[in-house]
């Protein structure tokens, strides 16, 4: 008699076509994450700044006089801080143009990357006269930023303006643009920018590192059984035997005191004296803007040259004082001086400096 047993088969599963329960997804930390490198965000920010500049000026940067924007980005987590350097046409409302461009750049970068753009800082490197850009307009119909009745300056104005603020803000309908005189009423002054002091910091670090490294190397050699270096023996003997009132000791002490005082002054002062702080808009607590002295002098010179009778003007801008010397070729010098003073005061008001400098105007007749 032969007994047969059925071979074991696969376990019975659910019928074909029956719905299976979905497996739960692992937590987000296990599934992975999407990381966008700083360089990618910087390229997107540069492209967004280029598009915003085309809408603002009607000219493509990188063609002609306007340089292409230079972006730098700091990404931390899901937020980004953008810093861009660019050129603007002259004349232009720097604060208003920067406010509109900051909004456009933040909206564009946030939409393409999905990040939260918490700050956009714009540094205006130069103001380029619009007459040099007339023949390079974009074919999209940009008409340029030159208002009628205002002649362009005779040369480029070099200015620096840093605009920082919460990104993505835009004035409501009917409100004046940021930076306009209506917004400046009741606003606070921008604080002075602090210099990075890279050169003093680098020199101090190099000197301290060289001295400490040399001394440490000699100490290690002595601990390893070698003799001390001759320079260290000589220095120890000099310090032990030379009197305190010796000329060399007093000279070295004076040099060390001067260097220490210089480092203290560098650490406690902001520097960047060539930058003049501007008034901040009343509706923004994080907007900081500054203007270069050379740019302010050029703008004042252009205002002086528009006064009838002025053939030459020399402007010197300091932190607390503005000196203007003008040559008059025709008309009464007294009348020209009154009109020149009024024009310069109006230009200073439009510059919206945080600390209004004292204006000194001198006029002389030339033949």
Nearest to 196 by CA among 123, 271, 287, 263: 271
Task: Judge contact between 105 and 168, C-beta under 8 A.
Answer: no
Task: Judge contact between 49 and 85, C-beta under 8 A.
Answer: no
Q: How far is CA 252 from CA 17, 201, 247, 255, 260, in A?
A: 93, 21, 9, 5, 12
CA 111 distance to own-chain centroid = 24
Which helix H or strand E contains 47, and what residues bound it? helix 38-57
**Does pTM surpass 0.85?**
no
When pLDDT is cut at 50, 70 and 90, the band that residue 158 belongs to is very low
Tell me if residue 171 falls in helix, strand or coil.
Answer: coil
Q: Cα separation of 116 and 109, whole Å?
A: 9
CA 274 distance to own-chain centroid = 14
pLDDT tens-digit profile of 66-117? 788 889 898 888 889 898 888 888 777 777 888 888 889 999 999 999 888 9
Q: Cα separation of 249 and 91, whole Å?
A: 59
The string of DSSP letters for 249-307 reads: HHHHHHHHHHHHHHHHHHHHS---TTEEEBBPPTT-SS---EEEHHHHHHHHHHHHHTS
Residue listed under structure tokens 């340089």: 67
Strand partners, 105: none
Which helix H or strand E contains 362, and what residues bound it? strand 358-365
pLDDT at 287: 59
Q: Cα separation of 62 and 366, whole Å?
A: 43
pLDDT at 151: 40
Phi and psi, residue 323, nearest 5° = -110, 125
When pLDDT is cut at 50, 70 and 90, the band that residue 202 belongs to is confident
Q: Cα separation of 193 and 162, whole Å?
A: 9
**155-159, 219-223, 284-288 — which is least confidently predicted?**
155-159
Nearest to 167 by CA among 47, 44, 80: 80
Q: What is the CA radius of gyration of the chain?
A: 33
Mean pLDDT of 129-144: 52
Q: Cα separation of 315 and 309, whole Å?
A: 17
Mean pLDDT of 34-63: 84
When pLDDT is cut at 50, 70 and 90, the band that residue 28 belongs to is low
- Is the four-CA dihedral 339, 344, 349, 351 of positive or negative sign? positive
Mean pLDDT of 226-239: 86
């Amino acid at each position: 008699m032969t007994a047969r047993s059925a071979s074991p088969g696969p376990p019975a599963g659910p019928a074909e076509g029956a719905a299976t329960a979905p497996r739960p997804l692992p937590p987000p930390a296990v599934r992975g994450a999407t990381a966008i490198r700083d360089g990618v965000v910087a390229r997107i920010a540069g492209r967004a700044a280029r598009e915003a500049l085309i809408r603002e000026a009607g000219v493509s940067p990188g063609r002609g006089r306007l340089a292409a924007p230079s972006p730098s980005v700091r990404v931390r987590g899901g937020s980004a801080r953008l810093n861009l350097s660019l050129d603007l046409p002259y004349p232009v409302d720097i604060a208003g143009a920067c406010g509109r461009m900051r909004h456009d750049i933040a909206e564009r970068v946030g939409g393409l990357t999905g990040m939260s753009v918490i700050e956009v800082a714009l540094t205006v490197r130069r103001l380029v006269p619009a007459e040099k850009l007339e023949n390079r307009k974009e074919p999209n119909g940009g008409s340029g930023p030159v208002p009628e009745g205002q002649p362009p300056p005779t040369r480029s104005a070099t200015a620096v303006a840093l605009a920082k603020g919460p990104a993505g803000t835009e004035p409501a309908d009917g409100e004046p643009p940021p930076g306009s005189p209506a917004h400046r009423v009741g606003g606070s002054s921008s604080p002075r920018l602090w210099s990075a002091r890279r050169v003093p910091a680098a020199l101090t670090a190099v000197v301290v590192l060289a001295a400490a490294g040399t001394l440490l190397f000699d100490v290690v050699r002595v601990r390893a059984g070698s003799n001390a270096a001759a320079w260290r023996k000589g220095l120890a003997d000099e310090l032990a035997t030379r009197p305190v009132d010796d000329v060399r000791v007093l000279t070295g002490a004076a040099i060390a005191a001067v260097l220490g005082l210089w480092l203290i002054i560098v650490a406690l002062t902001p520097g960047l004296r060539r930058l003049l702080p501007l008034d901040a808009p009343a509706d923004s607590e994080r907007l900081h803007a500054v203007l270069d002295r050379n740019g302010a002098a050029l703008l004042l010179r252009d205002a002086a040259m528009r006064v009838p009778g002025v053939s030459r003007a020399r402007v010197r801008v300091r932190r607390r004082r503005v000196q203007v010397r003008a040559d008059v070729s025709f008309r009464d010098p007294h009348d020209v001086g009154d009109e020149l003073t009024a024009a310069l005061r109006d230009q200073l008001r439009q510059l919206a400096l945080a600390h209004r400098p004292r204006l000194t105007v001198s006029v002389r007749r030339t033949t």
